[in-house]
């Protein structure tokens, strides 16, 4: 319950609304308690052998209940007739009912609004923390898992908070009011009934543990379902062409079965709790009946007092009974609360500009000094004591077989990954000691898979540059050779881009990504094989845009195509996380076996458009 209570304490951030909600709940419960106490004089006036008027009943009450006195002025105002007294009490009960209903509505309304605001802030905090976590942590856990926690777990948490603030408070206050009424009528009955309290606590505690474990397991497997669904729908083309529908369906069916199994585990505990509570309640009533019979025979208890007290306790029990289910809901909500707290406890990237100096604009060199890195749950080093210096304005291509560490190495520059030993230095400043935003502001990245958001073309180009003007966006598009095709699209820069850029071709998506990088005016341009999956004509336009924009900037490209290698001032060859050679194309062809194999493989796969691409670069 600790994680759930930590989120529940966020309700205290809205003291005004919380106080109002508790006030209206108390008013609603007070109306119930007063109504129960009002039944006593009605029964005595109607069922008494000789009947008793309200003033006399009030004086008898003052004599037998000295702790709760009715003022003399009020007694004098009460009607002397029995019928008039009953009508007065009935009218009072009707007024109390209306007031209680209105107060109950206000309590529910404020509680719902309060929980929605708290969960919205939790969801925002979770998303903010997720996108600010180190990339290595996201890779380790998986993006689908974090998406499930931000969306699904926060919704489950809201259900628990609603059960706590709305229904639990309402039922608890009503139960307390009815319990007080029972004490006022005859406290001895209440003492006998109190023996059920510890037994109730044991039942709730035992069932709560099973519910919490089942709910946590169900959420974990639901995250797997979310991941499988995302993978299947996003890769539907590959699944269909590979005739893998049956395989993916089998994986989904197994994960779905695990969700059902864990949910049944929690639901069984919830279902068992209610019959146990009902059985205990019946046993307590039997004990109460035996006690009452003895006291009535002895003359120490009147039958009407017993009936009224038992009725008040029944109302109290009826109010408390739903708490079993509500406690189960709160226990179930502790599982998503725990998962959300785990997310929020992961250390985020350091971003405080006041604690770290800004990095001045890069104009000298970038140096990797003994950089090593190993991904979680792997045995081999992704980078092994890499030493490399890249001069400002130099165009460097990094080549090597898949998995040799190229992308990992370039991910060190914007601190997407952090070296486990060694450091990355820009113009003499260790990038681990500078303000992160000032570092990333200087870096433009164009990846193999263009990342586009669902929005307009202008919004995609200005992503991360909220102050960019329309003229700046259009100028960036012109420099990226994107303006020509944007103008042909209905709506131009205000045209909507489909999810994942599906409404654009691969070359168009890449040129928008380049325009995004151009708009940032970076001093360092990183290209993660930006032209590997597009046609020759698009490659020529993109290569020309990069060549024009890359002047007087440091350009570092991961290369698989021969054209990219030939365009570089220097080629770095990597193998198994280490740099094994560097030099020009001609130099490496004469001495580096790995580079020779890579270059020859490219020469064999190059089509007729390749010379045109190289010539344009």
**For the residues 313-334, what does the mean pLDDT come to?**
65
Q: Is the pLDDT of residue 604 over 50?
A: yes
Q: How far apart are CA 182 and CA 184, in angstroms?
A: 5
**Separation between Cα atoms, residue 65 and residue 313, nearest integer Å:** 19
Q: What does the pLDDT look like over 109-136, one tens digit per residue? A: 888 888 888 888 888 888 888 888 887 7
Structure-token match 């990954």, residue found: 417
Give the pLDDT mean for 376-394.
Answer: 89
Are the C-beta atoms of 315 and 32 separated by less than 8 Å?
yes
Cα distance from N-terminal residue to C-terminal residue, the chain: 63
What's the 3-state SS for 149-192?
HHHHHHHHHHHHHHHHHHHHHHHHHHHHHHHHHHHHHCHHHHHH
Topology of 2-218+270-345 in CATH?
Answer: ABC transporter transmembrane region fold (1.20.1560)
Task: Give me Rg for the CA atoms of the chain.
Answer: 37
pLDDT of 92 strictly over 70: yes
Confidence of residue 300 (pLDDT cuts 50, 70, 90): low
The pLDDT score that the predictor gives to residue 454 is 78
For residue 579, is pLDDT > 50?
yes
pLDDT confidence of residue 463: 84
At residue 533, the pLDDT reads 54
Helical spans, DSSP H, in 358-448? 406-411, 436-440
pLDDT digits (tens, 9 = 90+) for 42-72: 555 555 555 667 777 777 767 766 656 667 7
- Helix orientation angle between 322-345 and 196-234, rounded to the nearest 10 degrees: 50
What are the CA-CA distances from residue 322 to residues 152, 172, 449 (Å)?
25, 9, 53
**422 vs 261: which has the higher pLDDT:** 422
Burial class, 359, CB count within 10 angstroms (exposed 0-12 / middle 13-18 / buried 19+): buried
Look up the pTM and report it.
Answer: 0.67
Domain boundaries, the chain: 2-218+270-345, 453-521
- Residue 527: DSSP 8-state: E
pLDDT at 616: 29
The pLDDT assigned to 607 comes to: 46
Please tell me the least confidently modeled range out of 6-15, 431-440, 607-616: 607-616
518-576 residue pLDDT tens: 888 889 999 887 665 555 666 677 777 778 787 888 999 888 777 778 888 899 999 98
Cα 141 to Cα 135: distance, rounded to the nearest angstrom: 10
pLDDT tens profile 148-193: 888 888 888 888 888 777 777 777 776 677 667 666 666 666 665 6
List, as one string, the DSSP characters of 287-330: HHHHHHHHHHHHTSS-HHHHHHHHHHHHHHHHHHTHHHHHHHHH
- Of 87-96, 441-450, 508-517, 599-608, give the lowest mean pLDDT range: 599-608
* Average pLDDT value for residue range 303-324: 62
The pLDDT of residue 169: 72
Is residue 614 very low, low, confident or very high in pLDDT (cuts 50, 70, 90)? very low
- The answer to whether residue 366 scores a pLDDT higher than 60 is yes
Question: In this predicted model, which residue has the larger pLDDT, 468 or 543?
Answer: 468
Q: Compute the mean pLDDT over every residue in the chain, rounded to the nearest whole number.
A: 77
Give how far Cα 341 sits from Cα of 7, 122, 288, 336, 402, Å: 9, 10, 46, 8, 37
DSSP class of residue 418 equals: -
Residue showing tokens 């259009």: 474
Predicted pLDDT of residue 184: 67
Q: What is the pLDDT of residues 326-341, one digit of tens each?
A: 666 777 778 788 888 8
Residue 61 neighbours by CB under 8 Å, 6+ apart: 68, 70
Residue 594 has pLDDT above 70, yes or no: yes
Do residues 509 and 465 make contact, with C-beta atoms less than 8 angstroms apart? no
Beta-bridge partner residues of 556: 396, 526
The yes-or-no verdict on residue 288 having pLDDT over 70 is: no
Confidence at 107, pLDDT banded by 50, 70, 90: confident
Q: Is the pLDDT of residue 348 over 50?
A: yes
**Residues β-bridged to residue 554:** 524
CATH topology of domain 453-521: Rossmann fold (3.40.50)
């Amino acid at each position: 319950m600790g994680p759930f209570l930590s989120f529940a304490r966020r309700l205290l951030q809205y003291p005004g609304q919380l106080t109002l909600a508790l006030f209206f709940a108390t008013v609603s419960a007070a109306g119930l308690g007063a109504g129960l106490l009002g039944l006593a004089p009605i029964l005595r006036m109607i069922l008494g052998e000789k009947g008793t008027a309200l003033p006399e009943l009030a004086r008898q009450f003052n004599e037998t209940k000295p702790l709760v006195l009715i003022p003399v002025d009020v007694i004098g105002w009460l009607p002397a007739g029995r019928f008039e007294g009953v009508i007065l009490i009935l009218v009072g009960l009707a007024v109390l009912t209306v007031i209680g209903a209105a107060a109950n509505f206000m309590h529910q309304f404020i509680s719902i609004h309060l929980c929605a605001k708290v969960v919205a802030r939790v969801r925002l905090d979770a998303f903010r923390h997720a996108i600010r976590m180190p990339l290595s942590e996201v890779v380790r856990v998986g993006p689908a898992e974090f998406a499930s926690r931000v969306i699904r777990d926060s919704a489950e948490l809201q259900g628990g908070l609603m059960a706590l603030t709305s229904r639990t408070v309402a039922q608890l206050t009503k139960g307390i009011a009815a319990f007080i009424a029972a004490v006022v009528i005859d406290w001895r009955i209440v003492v006998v009934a109190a023996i059920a309290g510890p037994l109730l606590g044991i039942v709730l505690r035992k069932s709560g543990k099973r519910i919490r474990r089942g709910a946590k397991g169900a959420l974990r497997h639901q995250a797997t379902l979310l991941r499988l669904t995302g993978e299947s729908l996003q890769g539907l083309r590959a699944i269909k062409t590979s005739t893998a529908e049956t395989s993916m369906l089998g994986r989904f069916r197994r994960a779905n079965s695990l969700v059902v199994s864990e949910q049944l585990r929690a639901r069984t505990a919830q279902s068992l709790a209610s019959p146990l509570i009902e059985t205990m309640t019946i046993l307590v009533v039997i004990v109460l009946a035996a006690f009452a019979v003895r006291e009535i025979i002895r003359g120490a208890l009147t039958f009407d007092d017993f009936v009224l007290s038992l009725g008040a306790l029944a109302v109290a029990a009826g109010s408390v009974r739903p708490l079993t289910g509500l406690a189960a809901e709160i226990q179930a909500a502790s599982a998503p609360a725990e998962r959300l707290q785990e997310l929020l406890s992961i250390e985020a990237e350091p971003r405080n500009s006041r604690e770290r100096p800004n990095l001045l604009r890069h104009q000298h060199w970038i140096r990797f000094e003994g950089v090593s890195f190993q991904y979680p749950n792997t045995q081999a080093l992704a980078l092994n004591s890499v030493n490399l210096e890249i001069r400002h304005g130099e165009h460097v291509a990094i080549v090597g077989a898949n998995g040799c560490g190229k992308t990992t190495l370039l991910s060190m520059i914007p601190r997407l990954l952090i070296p486990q030993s060694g450091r990355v230095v820009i113009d003499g400043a260790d990038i681990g000691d500078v303000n992160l935003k000032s570092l990333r502001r200087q870096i433009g990245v164009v990846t193999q898979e263009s990342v586009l958001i669902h929005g307009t073309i202008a919004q995609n180009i200005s992503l991360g540059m909220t102050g960019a003007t329309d003229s700046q966006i259009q100028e960036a598009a012109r420099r990226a050779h994107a303006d020509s095709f944007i103008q042909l699209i209905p709506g131009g820069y205000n045209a909507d881009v489909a999810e994942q850029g599906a409404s654009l071709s691969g070359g168009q998506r890449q040129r928008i990504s380049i325009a995004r990088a151009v708009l940032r005016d970076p001093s360092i341009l990183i290209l993660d094989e930006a032209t590997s999956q597009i046609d020759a004509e698009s490659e020529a336009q993109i290569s020309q845009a990069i060549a024009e924009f890359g002047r007087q900037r440091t350009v570092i490209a991961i290369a698989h195509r021969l054209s990219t290698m030939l365009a570089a001032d220097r080629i770095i060859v990597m193998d198994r996380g280490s740099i094994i050679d560097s030099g020009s194309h001609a130099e490496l062809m004469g001495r580096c076996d790995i580079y020779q194999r890579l270059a020859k493989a490219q020469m064999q796969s190059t089509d007729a458009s390749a010379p045109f691409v190289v010539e344009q670069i």
